[in-house]
Every structure is written in structure tokens, then in C-alpha cells.
């Protein structure tokens, strides 16, 4: 509210200044001295370029330093350091060029404003200059693009066989998580069988689905490869876990995935940051509707043995919702009961 008031105040002040300027020009016109008017308006415009350069330049540096910790979170994944190196190299190269060109752009607009007796220099060509400013950016950009390509190929390389597969489904407005259960294999899903309880559309014709479980909290093991199998139920979403330098779109009808290895458990990160409340988070980073901001999921990184213990405790979806046994083909029913540990007596 306070910020809004300040913003409105600034806008109002600018509007008043503009009106004063406008009125004084009109008075000039009425008095008939239009030549003077042009020079003074040029001077004002030129000066405003300088004011803009200094003002926004100050804001740019002030904000970059003030928020530095928020966009440079500690890295907690294996590929993260490689990613960081590339990110900061690109940032340094483009940052220097950005600042220099902006300074030149606004400074020159002020310096070379119209003056009555000055004459522009006719300078039609300079081949050497052309070659230099074509060649240098081409080489720098080629290096950045090819290094980026190599890092990206590395990061998105096929998952190793021993990876921990976990499914993440984005929907308006939350994330759902499904684990493959003790068989390590995620069962098929089918959007046509989605309903209120079976919100994932688990397909009970697939025997791999019987021990799949849908926990309330998301856990992953430290130091082991984890693959997020990502899908969306309605519109575009995007899985974003900044500490792991992980971002991948969730696209309806087109499964995507991201494999990574966490290097610091939640407990270790709490110690490192000296913040006992700290938790890793997954956010949605694709504006997906009104509740976009609320798509937040807590992610807990456990030591592998704690993860196994937590994993073994989870009850399968089918065990929690035994009414879905009716969807299991009759020849697989026995297997489903065995796999999920449903008590036969409960069924009668």
C-alpha cells in the first residue's frame, strides 16, 4: 500500500512537471518566439536522457546487490555447479555489454543533441570497424551457445538405470506426486479415468500401478539420482526447484522429465543457512491462472536410509481406497491384494 502511494506520487509529480513544461512552451508560442523554444525543448529532452541513465543505473545496481542472495541461492545438486559457472559467465559477458551500451546510448543522446551551429560528420563506411563488430560478438556468442549446449546435453542426458522415478503432476493449482511403490515401476495413467479420488487417472489394468502411492509430503534421497516424470492435467505449468537449479515445463499431453542428484539433505541445508525452519520448495514458474502463486510444494531431502524407511511406511493408493479393486481385472485381483497388503476381511 505504501509502495503504491509512492508510485502514485511519482507519477503525479511527473505529470505536474510535464504540464508546467507544456504551459511554458505554449506561452512561448503565444509570444511568437518559436526558435528559442526548440533549443530549450532539446536541452530539456537531452537532460532527461542523462537523468534517466543515472536514475535507472542506480536502481539497477541497488536492486542487484540488495536482492543478490535471493537469486543466488546455495546450490544443492550435482549439476548445479556446472550450471552456475555457465550462468555467471553469461551474466558477466552480457552484463558488461549491457551496461556499456546503455551508457553510450543515453550519454550520446545528450551529448549530440541539436545545436544551432554544429554540423553532423558524414562518415559512410569503415570496413575494419564492420569486421571487428561482426566478428567479436559472433565468436563470443558462439562460445556461449556451444558451452551452453554441452552443459544442457549433460544435464538432460538419459537417466541412469538405478534412478528413483517419481511422478509430478501439475494442475490448477497444486502439485500432485506419485511414487512407484516397492516394485520401482510407475503404473500407467490414463486421463479418461481421472475422477475426484483417482485424481492421477491411475490405470488399474496395469499391475505396476497397484503399489503406487500418493504421499502428502514429497521426499527424495540425498546422493542418488532422482527422475521427475512431469506431466500437466490442464494447462501449462513449470516445475521449478531453485536450490537444485532445476526447471522443466509441465505440458498437457507431452510428458517431460528431469534427472538430478541432490547433494545436501534438508537437515544439512538448515545447518548451513542456520535456519531451522528452512525447507526446499518446488514452485510453479509458468503463469497458469489465478491461483498460480499458491502452487508451492515442500520437498524434503533425506539421507538414503531415512528415505527408505519413509518409503516403506507409505500405503499404496489402492490400499487406502480399496473400492478401486472393482476396477482391477478379475484375473489380477489376487495379485493386487497381495501387492498392496489389503486385508481380505476388510473387503467383505
Nearer to Cu ion (CB atom), residue 229 or residue 266: 229
With CB under 5 A as the contact rule, which of the stretches 63-71, 181-189, 202-210, 288-296 interacts with Cu ion?
288-296
Q: How near is the Cβ of 161 to Cu ion at its closest, in Å?
A: 31
**Burial readout 230-244 (b: 16 or more C-beta within 10 A, e: otherwise):** bbbbebebbbbbbbb
Q: How near is the Cβ of 201 to Cu ion at its closest, in Å?
A: 18
Q: Is residue 247 within 8 Å of 256, Cβ to Cβ?
A: no
Q: Write out the binding residues for Cu ion, residues 209-238 only, by CB under 5 A.
A: 237
Nearer to Cu ion (CB atom), residue 219 or residue 237: 237
Nearer to Cu ion (CB atom), residue 178 or residue 237: 237
Nearer to Cu ion (CB atom), residue 169 or residue 269: 169
Residue-wise DSSP of 109-156: HHHT---TT---------HHHHHHHHHHHHHHHHHHHHHHHHHHHHHT
Q: How near is the Cβ of 233 to Cu ion at its closest, in Å?
A: 11
3-state helix, strand, coil in the chain (%, to 5): 55, 20, 30
Q: How near is the Cβ of 170 to Cu ion at its closest, in Å?
A: 5
Torsion angles phi and psi, residue 152, rounded to 5:
-65, -40
Q: How many helices (H) and strands (E) are present in the chain, helices listed first?
A: 10, 9
Binding-site size, Cu ion (CB under 5 A) = 4
C-alpha to C-alpha distance for 175 and 162, rounded to whole angstroms = 25
Residue-wise DSSP of 18-38: HHHHHHHHHHHHHHT-HHHHH
Cell, residue 81: 555447479
> Per-residue x/- mask for Cu ion, residues 294 to 323, rule CB under 5 A?
-x----------------------------
Nearer to Cu ion (CB atom), residue 230 or residue 288: 288
Q: Is residue 167 within 8 Å of 218, Cβ to Cβ?
A: no
Nearer to Cu ion (CB atom), residue 159 or residue 282: 282
- Which one of 155, 232, 284, 299 is in contact with Cu ion (CB under 5 A)? 284
Which residues sit opposite 320 in a β-bridge? none
Q: Write out the binding residues for Cu ion, residues 235-264 only, by CB under 5 A.
A: 237
Q: Is residue 248 within 8 Å of 259, Cβ to Cβ?
A: no
- Which one of 155, 239, 288, 336 is in contact with Cu ion (CB under 5 A)? 288
Nearer to Cu ion (CB atom), residue 66 or residue 290: 290
Q: How near is the Cβ of 313 to Cu ion at its closest, in Å?
A: 30
Q: How near is the Cβ of 239 to Cu ion at its closest, in Å?
A: 9
Q: Which stretches of the chain bind Cu ion, using CB under 5 A?
A: 237, 284, 288, 295
Amino acid at each position: 500500500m505504501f509502495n503504491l502511494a509512492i508510485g502514485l506520487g511519482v507519477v503525479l509529480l511527473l505529470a505536474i512537471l510535464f504540464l508546467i513544461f507544456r504551459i511554458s512552451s505554449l506561452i512561448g508560442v503565444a509570444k511568437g518566439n518559436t526558435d528559442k523554444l526548440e533549443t530549450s525543448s532539446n536541452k530539456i529532452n537531452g537532460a532527461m536522457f542523462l537523468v534517466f541513465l543515472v536514475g535507472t543505473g542506480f536502481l539497477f545496481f541497488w536492486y542487484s546487490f540488495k536482492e543478490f542472495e535471493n537469486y543466488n541461492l546455495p546450490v544443492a545438486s550435482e549439476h548445479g555447479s556446472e550450471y552456475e559457472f555457465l550462468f555467471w559467465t553469461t551474466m558477466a559477458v552480457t552484463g558488461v555489454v549491457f551496461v556499456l551500451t546503455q551508457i553510450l546510448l543515453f550519454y550520446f543522446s545528450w551529448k549530440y543533441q541539436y545545436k544551432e551551429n554544429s554540423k553532423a560528420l558524414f562518415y559512410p563506411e569503415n570496413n575494419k570497424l564492420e569486421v571487428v563488430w561482426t566478428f567479436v560478438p559472433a565468436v563470443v556468442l558462439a562460445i556461449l551457445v556451444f558451452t551452453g549446449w554441452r552443459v544442457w546435453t549433460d544435464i538432460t542426458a538419459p537417466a541412469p538405470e538405478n534412478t528413483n522415478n517419481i511422478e509430478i503432476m501439475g494442475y490448477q493449482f497444486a502439485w500432485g506426486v506419485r511414487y512407484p511403490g516397492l516394485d520401482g515401476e510407475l503404473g500407467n495413467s490414463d486421463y479418461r479415468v481421472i475422477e475426484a479420488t483417482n485424481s492421477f487417472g491411475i490405470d488399474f489394468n496395469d499391475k505396476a500401478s497397484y503399489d503406487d502411492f500418493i504421499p502428502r509430503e514429497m521426499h527424495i534421497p540425498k546422493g542418488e539420482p532422482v527422475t521427475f516424470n512431469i506431466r500437466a492435467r490442464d494447462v501449462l505449468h513449470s516445475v521449478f526447484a531453485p536450490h537444485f537449479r532445476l526447471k522443466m515445463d509441465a505440458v498437457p499431453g507431452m510428458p517431460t522429465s528431469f534427472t538430478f542428484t541432490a547433494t545436501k539433505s534438508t537437515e544439512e541445508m538448515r545447518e548451513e543457512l542456520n535456519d531451522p525452519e528452512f525447507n526446499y520448495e518446488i514452485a510453479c514458474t509458468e503463469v497458469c491462472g489465478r491461483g498460480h502463486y499458491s502452487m508451492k510444494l515442500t520437498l524434503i531431502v533425506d539421507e538414503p536410509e531415512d528415505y527408505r524407511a519413509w518409503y516403506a511406511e507409505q500405503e499404496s493408493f489402492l490400499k487406502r481406497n480399496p473400492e478401486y479393486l472393482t476396477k482391477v481385472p478379475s484375473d489380477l485381483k489376487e495379485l493386487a491384494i497381495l501387492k498392496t497388503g489389503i486385508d481380505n476381511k476388510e473387503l467383505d
